[in-house]
Structure formats: C-alpha cells, structure tokens
Amino acid sequence: MGRHRERHEDTLKVLNYFDGVHLIRRATTPALFSVALLDDVCPPSTVFASYNSYGIKSSGSTRHATAQSIDIYHFNGHEGGQEHHWVRQLKYVHKRFSDPFGRLSPAR
C-alpha cells in the first residue's frame, strides 16, 4: 500500500478472500473462545469454524489439536458474555500463567 496507493480499492477486494479459519490451523498456544449465538456482527458459524479448526495440524492421517475451550452465550448479541466473560478471561489467564508447564485444563 505504501508504493501503490492508487490500488487501495483492489487491495480491499482481495482482502475479502482471506478468512482467519484458513490461518488459525497454524496456532500453537491454548486459546479461550467465546460465541454469542445472537451476534449479528460476528456470526456464530464463523466462530465455531475457527474454534473447530484451531491448532489442527494434519500429518498424514493423524490430526493434532491445540488445547482450546469455548464459552457459549445463548441469549447475547455482539456484546457477548460481558462481565461474566471478563471474569472467565481473568481466571483463564491466571490459570494459564500459574501452571509451570503451560498446560490448559478443560473449561469448567
């Protein structure tokens, strides 16, 4: 963009074809996801697609997945779980950084 400023519109058109679900397979660290089923900004299907693809590496016929968990907010829109999820995030970070081996326990 620094060299071809006149191609701004073309660049934005190309970026429409990039989807995080294609890159998320390369993730290597544990992750906490959340999804609000009434979200009209980030459709739940895209969150579930990312969650289901997160950290999956194909090596022959074996698939290895990185640890992840997801919190589902059935009656929320784009605001998600708000303070309920903030507390969950703080607990997640505390547990993540207090485990000397860097492992992630399953969501409770």
Which pair of structure tokens corresponds to residue 42? Answer: 């980030």
Question: Over the stretch 23-58, which tens digit does the pLDDT of each residue have?
Answer: 888 888 889 999 999 999 999 998 998 899 888 875
pLDDT digits (tens, 9 = 90+) for 76-107: 999 999 999 999 999 999 988 886 665 555 55
Rounded-to-integer distance, Cα 45 and Cα 33, Å: 13
The reply to whether the predicted model has a pTM over 0.75 is no
Give the type of residue at 104. L
Amino acid at 27: A
pLDDT at 61: 42
**The two three-digit tokens of residue 10, written as one number:** 């073309």
* Of 33, 11, 38, 7, residue with least CA distance to 20: 33
